[in-house]
Amino acid sequence: MYWQSDMECMSRDDLELVQLERLQATLNRVARNVPLYRKRFADLGIDPYDIQSLADVQRLPFTTKADLRDNYPYGLFAVPLRDVVRMQASTGTTGKPTVVGYTAGDVRRWSELMARILMAGGITKDDAVQIAYNYGLLTGAFGLHYGVELIGASVIPSSSGNARRQISIMQDYRTTALVCTPSYALHLADTLDDLGINKTALSLRCGLFGSEPWTEDMRTEIEARLGIQATDNYGLSEITGVAGECLERQGLHINEDHFLAEIIDPQTGNVLPPGHKGELVITTLTKEAFPLIRFRTGDLTSLIDAPCPCGRTLRRMTRIPGRSDDMLIIRGCNVFPSQIETVITETGLHAPRFQIVLDRIGHMDQATILLEAPESFCTDSIKQSQRILENVRIRLNTEFGVAFEVRLVEPRTIDKSKKVRDLR
C-alpha cells in the first residue's frame, strides 16, 4: 500500500530530474533570502545557477548545528515571519534550542510525508492510532498526528507518560496501532505484565517506533510481547518526515523527492558511495520556511542501492546505530553534555565537574548527574547543598523535559575525561 505511488515508485531517472529541479529552486531561494547562505556561496564563488547536476551539490558548504545556534532564532528563515504558521524547536548544542518554522505548505507536505511513512508501516484508514509522544515544542508528535488524520485513520493523541493510563486507553478505545519510542513500547509491555493483562486483551496489530536508536533484538521483543509488527522511522527535529521502513523491514525508504541524502566521512567530509557507513547529510528540497543545505545530522548510517521488493524506488538507509557526535538520546529527547554544563553553570556553580550516567531501569532510561561538590561546600550547611542540588535538578528537568537524578560526590573523584558513562 502506497500513499503517493506516483512519487514513491517513480523511475530513478524521473526522480533525479525532480530532485535537481527542486534543488536548484531551493538554492536560488536561500541565496536570495538567507544571509548565511548568500554570504557562504559568495565567499566560495558559487552561483546557484552553476549547480547543474546532483553531483554538483558536493561543491556546496555544509550546514552544522553551530550555524543553527549562531542564527537563533529566525536567522535561517527563508520567508518572512508573516508566512510562518508553526514554530517547533530542536535541541541546540548549548543553551538555546533552534527554532524551526513551517509555512502552511510545509505543514501540508509534512503531513503527506508522515502519511507515506505510516502507510508504509502498515497503517490504513481503519486503524485507531495511539500517539504516545509528547505534544510540545520539542517533538514530532504533530507530524504523525496530521499523517494519521490525512490517511483517514483515527488518531488518539494520548501524549507521553503515565503507562497505566496509556494501557487503559488502549483497551477502552481498542487501539490498533501504537506510535512512540521503542523503549517506551517495552515499558508499556512491562506495565502490561505488572497489571496482569494479556496482550490478547488488546487490539494492537502494528507499531511505528522512532526518535532513538534501537536494535533488531528490541524489535523482536516488542513484537513478541505486544503481538504486533514493528517498523522504524526516522526524522530530526530540524528536518521532519525523512524516512520510514516498509513492511519488508530491510532499511528505511528516504523520501528522496523531498530530501537529498548523502553519506560523508565525518572526519574528512568526503562523500562516500552507497554501502559505506558514514554521517548522514541532508539537503531539503521542498522546505519553504526553514530550508537547510547539506545539513550534518550527526547520525551514522549507510545507503542501500538495491531495489526493495515492496516496489518503492526510493532508496533506503540502514537503521541508525549511533551518532558521530556526543549527542545523547534520553527517553527520545536529544541532549548534549555541553547543554547540561550550561544549565549547571547557570545555577551559579562555577566550572562544575560532573559526569552523566545513563542506565536503563526496566526499559526506561535513567539519567543521573554526579556532581562534584565544590570545595566551598565543605563549610556550607547541608541544607544549602541540598538547595543547590534541587535547583540543578529542577533546571535540568525544565530544560529537557526529562527527569534527572542529581547526586553530590566528593571533590576530585570524577574522571574529567569521561563526561558520559552510558551503561544502557
Interaction mask 193-232, Zn ion, x per CB under 5 A: ----------------------------------------
Nearer to Zn ion, 8 or 365 (CB): 8
The C-alpha atoms of residue 251 and residue 275 are separated, in whole angstroms, by 12
Nearer to Zn ion, 60 or 310 (CB): 310
Q: How far apart are the first and last CA of the chain?
A: 36
- Say whether 7 sits in a helix, a strand or coil: helix
Residue 13 beta carbon to Zn ion: minimum distance, rounded to whole angstroms: 19
Residue 127 beta carbon to Zn ion: minimum distance, rounded to whole angstroms: 20
Residue 219 beta carbon to Zn ion: minimum distance, rounded to whole angstroms: 16
Interface with Zn ion by CB under 5 A: which range of 87-95, 146-154, 210-218, 303-311?
303-311
Q: Which of 149, 190, 223, 248 binds Zn ion (CB under 5 A)?
A: 248
The whole-angstrom distance between residue 363's C-alpha and the CA centroid of its chain comes to 20
Contact 157, 140 (CB under 8 A): no
Site for Zn ion in 305-334 (CB under 5 A): 308, 310, 312
Contact 44, 61 (CB under 8 A): yes
Nearer to Zn ion, 122 or 298 (CB): 122
Question: Among candidates 288, 280, 365, which has minimal Cα distance to 324?
Answer: 280
Residue 305 beta carbon to Zn ion: minimum distance, rounded to whole angstroms: 13
Residue 316 beta carbon to Zn ion: minimum distance, rounded to whole angstroms: 7
Interface with Zn ion by CB under 5 A: which range of 203-211, 246-254, 397-405, 408-416?
246-254
Site for Zn ion in 345-404 (CB under 5 A): none
Nearer to Zn ion, 119 or 333 (CB): 119
Residue 253 beta carbon to Zn ion: minimum distance, rounded to whole angstroms: 6
Nearer to Zn ion, 186 or 252 (CB): 252
How many residues touch Zn ion under the rule CB under 5 A: the total is: 5
Residue 220 φ/ψ region, left for φ over 0, alpha for ψ in the -120 to 50 degree band, beta for the rest:
alpha
Residue 142 beta carbon to Zn ion: minimum distance, rounded to whole angstroms: 26
The C-alpha atoms of residue 177 and residue 12 are separated, in whole angstroms, by 32
Nearer to Zn ion, 246 or 300 (CB): 246
Contact 317, 261 (CB under 8 A): yes
Residue 213 beta carbon to Zn ion: minimum distance, rounded to whole angstroms: 21
Residue 150 beta carbon to Zn ion: minimum distance, rounded to whole angstroms: 20
The C-alpha atoms of residue 255 and residue 243 are separated, in whole angstroms, by 6
Q: What is residue 253's DSSP assignment? A: E
Residue 247 beta carbon to Zn ion: minimum distance, rounded to whole angstroms: 8
Nearer to Zn ion, 107 or 308 (CB): 308
Q: What share of the chain is helix, strand, coil (3-state, %, to 5)?
A: 35, 25, 40
Q: What is residue 3's DSSP assignment? A: S
Q: Which of 246, 292, 329, 344 binds Zn ion (CB under 5 A)?
A: 246
Nearer to Zn ion, 139 or 255 (CB): 255
Contact 396, 406 (CB under 8 A): yes
Q: Which helix (H) or strand (E) holds 254?
A: strand 252-254
Does 149 bind Zn ion (CB under 5 A)? Our answer is: no
Nearer to Zn ion, 287 or 316 (CB): 316
Instruction: Say which residues have a Cβ less than 8 Å from residue 397's Cβ, sequence separation at least 6.
Output: 403, 404
CA dihedral 153, 159, 162, 164 (to 10 degrees): 0
Nearer to Zn ion, 317 or 373 (CB): 317
Sheet holding 243-245, edge to edge: 154-156, 128-131, 177-180, 206-209, 229-234, 243-245, 252-254, 316-317, 303-304
Residues in touch with Zn ion (CB under 5 A): 246, 248, 308, 310, 312
